[in-house]
Structure 1
């Protein structure tokens, strides 16, 4: 690119753009007024052209009839030096010979044999019978005329009938219309601009009210709501949507606050235990007791590590960026791999004979965490047996994990998927885990477009285990 063009482009890029600093009201007024102004100008031009064509057409009809009348006189041999008026529009009629001299005229002051004021020779189009406009003719009062001609023979000699009608009145009418449009269009454009600006301002006034109210809402008072406009229109719908958003933010903020408080409380317990044991170990060294203290410290550290891992998994389950990193997962393979892993950790029997094929789209690592947490929960509460089933039907993959434990009371079946929830028989942190396992399951399943719920497994007499049953439903990959 030549250097001068590069400099010009750089200057244009730095040139301020006024439209970017205009308010919405100003931009709407500017654009709407511009469109209306262009439309009125085009309509005015169309009116002028239409009126002009209509007037020209009427004048052409007039001169055409006059030519026919004079032709009739010539044909009947009644042509005289002075052609009589027909009582219609003021026109000028002349019959010219081949040299352009007047044979007869409708004007008494024009003598036969005198040179005509019409151009000689006449334009070919006019001789062919087509009407034309001739400018600055010195006939009658002078000026522009609409002219029509017809070749005839007078006394056996070629001649031409020429009829002209003045355009003065038509031009005055068009000039008056142009003046009216030149005054009316700007005035009407200004009126339209004022009307649009006023209407837009009144329309946007509730939006401005909502904006001012929204500026006073901070993270500490998300409980506040915007005032709803009285009108049931789009602005009212916007206010309702914003209030719903504030309600969701308020709920999320409260949940985050509770989560931080619960996490701090849960982390404090193992850290306090570790600190106390380290202080005792440092203050009172005892070679015989040190191994047992080290083992306790290791156990507390592992529990702390598991809690941190659960918190990290819960945070990842709420990360929208991870939802795009999904692929087709054979859920049956994930289930069977976790079953083999769990069998190596416990003597509790795990029945996986009812696991059949099931394919879903999702994050393989997250789904593996779901299956692991379900099996950990079932193994922790089972008396002797855990049963796993996986089926795919009607576009849905269903995973069921049952145990023969005490089950979950109906009042707690929804609460078990909340953070840091431990039921009465599992309140001890050593037995009940961190209270995040099922919460992680709920978050991951929901983010995959599925659902999870807790139920009671049928009694052994009905083919079940009689304890808790956790059911997960996910859309199949084919669906």
Structure 2
């Protein structure tokens, strides 16, 4: 369980492009594997059908000779083909291609051949056995070597084994290049976003021309930058207004304190100056409270107290 979690976390830590490439490679492996199996199966089926047609043709050519002659000369072997004429009762070979004097059929296969034509596969050949209506009855067996067929399948398997991975690597490289090109606008927007912090107000991200997800992402980011610019402008205006509002009471405080320190004032005059200073301090306190309320309102955190009031007409 922990190993599976570790594998998932390790995959999540990979860059997006690497994860996408791995997913693409996995999909291509499944696709190429399925196509290779399908191609191999179709090629094998085509070879088998060709061999079966050749055996039926060969049997059709030899059957009239078996029916017309009791002592049929042995047919010549051509392209790995061979034939036998068997006695259905004893299984003895009446006539055969040179090198095939021994019966190719077992007793069970011979009994089955007397009831109708059927194919028989051996490790090195494919046989077609069928009964021939003649006097005395006979069973005709024609066969073809599977060496060429097996060699062709082996060659195809080797080509798929060598060419499949090479084609997979080439396809993954092409896919990686296409992904790199598709993600180029994201890289451009990322670099532009990193440089906007030092750029003048109004800088925006480049938006692709295609109306796709990347364009919507760029437009969303630009809308966010617009809101940030507006918030920054309000903050600057707020700071400017706060500085302007604070300047007057601070100037009055400084003037009152300098006047009190620079002259030999009476007790009454000092008290008057201190009262003026206290008033300015109260003014600064109220101003600070007002600025705090404004700041909270700008941030949307100002609590509202709702209550009913009577309004006289």
TM-score in terms of structure 1 length: 0.49
Q: How big is the shift at 1:11?
A: 4.8
- Give unmatched runs, 5+ long, in structure 1: 1-8, 136-143, 274-280, 291-295, 323-333, 344-348, 351-479
| Distance in 2 of aligned mates of 1:37 and 1:149 | 43
Q: Is the 8 A contact 2:85 2:95 kept in 1?
A: yes
RMSD over aligned CA atoms reads 4.5
| Distance in 2 of aligned mates of 1:11 and 1:43 | 33
- Compared CA separation, residues 189 and 162, structure 1 to 2 (3 A): same
Q: Is the 8 A contact 1:222 1:250 kept in 2?
A: no
Q: Is the 8 A contact 2:55 2:144 kept in 1?
A: yes
Q: How big is the shift at 1:49?
A: 0.7
Residue of structure 2 aligned with 1:168, choices 134, 147, 156: 147
Instruction: Please list the CA deviations of residues 97-128 of structure 1 after superposition, one character each: whole Å capped at 9, or x if unmatched.
Output: 233221222x14555xxx41443432887665
Secondary structure of the corresponding residue to residue 150 of structure 1: strand
Q: Is the 8 A contact 2:86 2:103 kept in 1?
A: yes
Residue of structure 2 in register with 1:225 after alignment: 203
Q: Is the 8 A contact 1:270 1:304 kept in 2?
A: no
Residue of structure 2 in register with 1:119 after alignment: 106
| Distance in 1 of aligned mates of 2:107 and 2:54 | 23
Q: Is the 8 A contact 2:242 2:291 kept in 1?
A: no
Alignment of 1:368-383 (within 5 A): none
1:54 aligns with 2:46: yes
Q: How big is the shift at 1:82?
A: 2.0
Q: Is the 8 A contact 1:270 1:300 kept in 2?
A: yes
Alignment of 1:54-73 (within 5 A): 54-73=46-65
Task: Looking at secondary structure, tell me which structure has more strand per residue.
Answer: 1
Count the aligned residue pairs: 293
Task: Looking at secondary structure, tell me which structure has more helix per residue.
Answer: 2
Residue of structure 2 in register with 1:209 after alignment: 188
Q: How big is the shift at 1:156?
A: 4.0
1:180 aligns with 2:180: no
1:82 aligns with 2:82: no
Q: How big is the shift at 1:46?
A: 1.0
Residue of structure 1 in register with 2:225 after alignment: 246
Q: How big is the shift at 1:155?
A: 2.6
Residue of structure 2 aligned with 1:129, choices 108, 111, 117: 117
Residue of structure 2 in register with 1:37 after alignment: 29
Residue of structure 2 in register with 1:436 after alignment: none
1:155 aligns with 2:127: no
Q: Is the 8 A contact 2:81 2:144 kept in 1?
A: yes
Q: Is the 8 A contact 2:85 2:140 kept in 1?
A: yes
| Distance in 1 of aligned mates of 2:167 and 2:206 | 36
- Compared CA separation, residues 123 and 37, structure 1 to 2 (3 A): farther
1:342 aligns with 2:310: yes
Q: How big is the shift at 1:308?
A: 7.5
Residue of structure 2 in register with 1:103 after alignment: 94
Q: How big is the shift at 1:208?
A: 2.2
| Distance in 2 of aligned mates of 1:124 and 1:28 | 62
Residue of structure 2 in register with 1:195 after alignment: 174
| Distance in 2 of aligned mates of 1:308 and 1:252 | 16
Higher relative contact order by CA 8 Å / sep ≥ 6: 1 or 2?
2
| Distance in 2 of aligned mates of 1:27 and 1:14 | 16
1:314 aligns with 2:297: yes
| Distance in 2 of aligned mates of 1:30 and 1:263 | 57
Q: Is the 8 A contact 2:201 2:229 kept in 1?
A: yes
